[in-house]
Amino acid sequence: MTRLAACLFAALAGFAALSGPAPAIAQQMQALDRIVAVVDEDVILRSELDRALVNIDRQFAGRSDQLPPRDILERQVLERLVLQRLEVARASSMGITVSDAELDNAIGAIAKQNNMTLPQLQAQIARDGMTLADLRQSVRDEIASQRLRQSFAQGQVTVSEAEVDASLATETGAAQYHMAHILVGVPDGATADQIAAAQKKVQGIKAALDRHEIEFAAAAVRYSDSPNALDGGDLGWRSLDEIPPSFAQVITGMQAGEVVGPIRGPSGFQLLQLVETRSGADAAPATVTELKARHILVKGDDAAAKAKLETLRARIAGGADFAQVARDNSEDTVTRAAGGELGWFAQDAHGVDFGAQVAALQDGQVSAPFKTEAGWHIVQREGSRQAVAQDDSRRQAVREKIGQRKLEEQWDRFLREMRGEAYVDIRLGDAAAAPAPAPASPAPAVPASGG
C-alpha cells in the first residue's frame, strides 16, 4: 500500500492553494462550480478539475515555464479525469468492488505513511477545502482502478520461448537506452481526415524541434497525447527487450539527443528521442523481479469457492490476520501451516496468471478472488525486490521484460478503445474543444486530442 498511500496523499494534499488561505480557494471553487465534462452517465465538475490543476501547479513549482498554456493544460488534466471515470465505471460493471472495511484500512495506511493520526489527516484535508467523503471517494476510485488493471493483466500477455531465444541471441552487453517520446494519438477507426490531421500535427512538432524552437521535454508537455506528457514524455532507461519493435529497429543507430519519426504505431504517430545511452560496462546488471506473498487456495465448485474466498477476504479487510485465516481455511497443504507463505519467488514461478495478479498489487494489498489451474486464490503481496539474474534465471528476466512491454502496449490500447467507445462531452468552451492546426513554432497552442 506504500505507493498508493504516497500518490494519493500527494494528490489530495496538493489540492491546497499555492497562495492564499484554503477556505478562500474552496469558496472560489464552489462559486465557479459547474459541469466541465459529461462521461456516459457521470459528470466531472469544475471544482474537481481545479483541484487537480492546483496539484499540477505544485508539482511544477519553480518550473512553470515547462507547462503548456492554461487552456491546453486544462484539457490534458481533464482527459486524465475522464479516463479515471471510465476506469471506475468499467471496474463497477465487472463487479469490482471496494468494501468500507478495505477503504478504512487504505485511509489508515495513508495517515500512517504520512506520520499522521486519522484526526490529523481529516484536519489536513479540511484545511485544503476537502471533506472526508471526498477523500474516501478518491481512495475508492484509485483502488478500483488498480483492480481493473489487475484483472486486465490476467491472461492478457503471453511470451513464447522463441521470443526469449531471439532476445537472448541479440544481447549486446546489456546496453540500455534512456528515451522520451511524443505521441499524437489517432483513435481506432479513424477517418482519413483524422489521420491526416494527426500527421500534420506531428510533422509540425518535428519541424519546430528541428529548428530548435522548443526543447523536446517542453514539446512533450505541450503537445503529447501520452499519459506521461506532463513528465516530458520521459520513458526512463530500457533495454532492447523493453522497447517496442518499431523503435528497437532504429534506436541502436541513434546519437544522444537525436529525434526520429514520425513513426506510425497502434496508438498514433510518435516522435522518439534518445536522451543518452549506457554500455554494458555502465549499465545496471540484468535483474529479475522477485515477489514475496502469501495466499489462500480453495478448490472445487467455481461459484462456491469464489463465494468462500470473498467471505474470507471480507474478514481480512475487517482486521483478521491473513496468516491465521490461511491456516484455518487454505486447501494448499504445502503452505497452509505457514499461513500461506510462499516466500520470495520470480514473478512467473507459480504461473503467468498468478504472477500477474501479485505484480499488480501494492505491498500489503489483498487481491480479489482469481482462478488458476490449481483452483481459486486470494493473495496478499508482502514485498518486491530486484535480484541480479543468474544464469538459470536470465530467461525469466528476459521473459518478464518482454511481457511488461507487451502489457503496457495492450493496456494503452485498452484505455484508448474504452475512451473511443464512451460518450464524452467536453464543456470547457468552443476554443478548447476545437482542434488546432499543427504548430509552426512553439507559440501556437496545440490541444491534446485525448482520443
pLDDT tens column, 12-46: 433 333 233 344 444 444 445 789 999 998 999 98
**pLDDT confidence band for 439 (50 / 70 / 90):** very low
Average pLDDT, rounded, for the chain: 78
Question: Hey, what amino acid is at 218?
Answer: A
* Rounded Cα gap, residues 340 and 332, in angstroms: 8
Q: Are 84 and 149 in contact (CB under 8 A)?
A: no
Pick the CATH number of 2-152 from 1.10.1370.30, 3.30.420.40, 1.10.4030.10, 3.50.50.60: 1.10.4030.10
Q: At what angle do helices 322-329 and 302-317 cross, to 10 degrees?
A: 150
- Which fold does the domain 169-284 belong to in CATH? Chitinase A; domain 3 (3.10.50)
3-class SS of residue 385: strand
pLDDT at 32: 52
More confident residue, 361 or 240: 361
Closest CA to 294 of 257, 261, 334: 334
pLDDT at 171: 58
* Rounded Cα gap, residues 289 and 45, in angstroms: 41
Q: Quick check: 430 pLDDT over 70?
A: no
pLDDT at 446: 32
pLDDT at 13: 37
| Distances in whole angstroms, Cα of residue 305 to Cα of each of 32, 93, 299, 371, 439 | 50, 22, 6, 10, 58
Start-end of CATH 1.10.4030.10 domains in the chain:
2-152
* Rounded Cα gap, residues 93 and 239, in angstroms: 37
Q: Quick check: 451 pLDDT over 50?
A: no
pLDDT at 24: 42
**pLDDT confidence band for 132 (50 / 70 / 90):** confident
What is the per-residue pLDDT across 56-84, written as a single tens digit (0 to 9) for each? 887 777 777 777 788 888 888 898 899 99
How many Cβ atoms sit within 10 Å of the Cβ of residue 166? Answer: 13
* Rounded Cα gap, residues 348 and 360, in angstroms: 13
What is the per-residue pLDDT across 240-259, written as a single tens digit (0 to 9) for each? 767 777 677 788 788 889 99
pLDDT at 174: 57
How many Cβ atoms sit within 10 Å of the Cβ of residue 110? Answer: 23
pLDDT at 30: 47
Among 13-22, 272-281, 317-326, the range scoring the smallest mean pLDDT is: 13-22
Q: Quick check: 389 pLDDT over 70?
A: no
3-class SS of residue 273: strand
Upstream peptide bond of 262 is cis (omega within 30 degrees of 0): yes
More confident residue, 157 or 102: 102
- State phi, psi for 411 to the nearest 5 degrees: -65, -45
Start-end of CATH 3.10.50.40 domains in the chain:
169-284, 287-388
% of the chain beyond a pLDDT of 90? 24
Q: Quick check: 169 pLDDT over 70?
A: no
3-class SS of residue 338: helix
Q: Which three cell numbers stand for residue 401?
A: 521484460
pLDDT at 325: 95
Residues 412-428: what's their mean pLDDT? 86
Q: Quick check: 155 pLDDT over 50?
A: yes
Residues 6+ apart with CB under 8 A from 22: 16, 127, 128, 129
**pLDDT confidence band for 265 (50 / 70 / 90):** confident
CA 74 to chain centre: 20
What are the DSSP E strand ranges found in 266-374?
Answer: 268-278, 287-298, 341-346, 370-372
Among 64-68, 114-118, 181-185, 275-279, the range scoring the smallest mean pLDDT is: 64-68
Domain 287-388, classified CATH 3.10.50.40, yes or no: yes
Please identify which residue in the block is written with the cell numbers 478448490.
299
Q: Quick check: 172 pLDDT over 80?
A: no
First to last CA, the chain: 31
Residues 88-92: what's their mean pLDDT? 91
* Rounded Cα gap, residues 199 and 262, in angstroms: 8
pLDDT at 247: 74
Q: Are 65 and 122 in contact (CB under 8 A)?
A: no
Q: Which three cell numbers stand for residue 63?
A: 518550473
Residues 385-405: what's their mean pLDDT? 68
Q: Quick check: 441 pLDDT over 50?
A: no
3-class SS of residue 132: helix
Residues 6+ apart with CB under 8 A from 162: none
Q: At what angle do helices 302-317 and 100-113 cross, to 10 degrees?
A: 40
Q: Give the sign of the dihedral formed by CA 73, CA 78, CA 81, CA 87.
A: negative
- DSSP one-letter code for 235: E
Q: Are 407 and 308 in contact (CB under 8 A)?
A: no
Q: Are 403 and 43 in contact (CB under 8 A)?
A: no
Q: Quick check: 194 pLDDT over 50?
A: yes
What are the DSSP E strand ranges found in 320-374?
Answer: 341-346, 370-372
Q: Quick check: 340 pLDDT over 70?
A: yes
% of the chain beyond a pLDDT of 70? 79
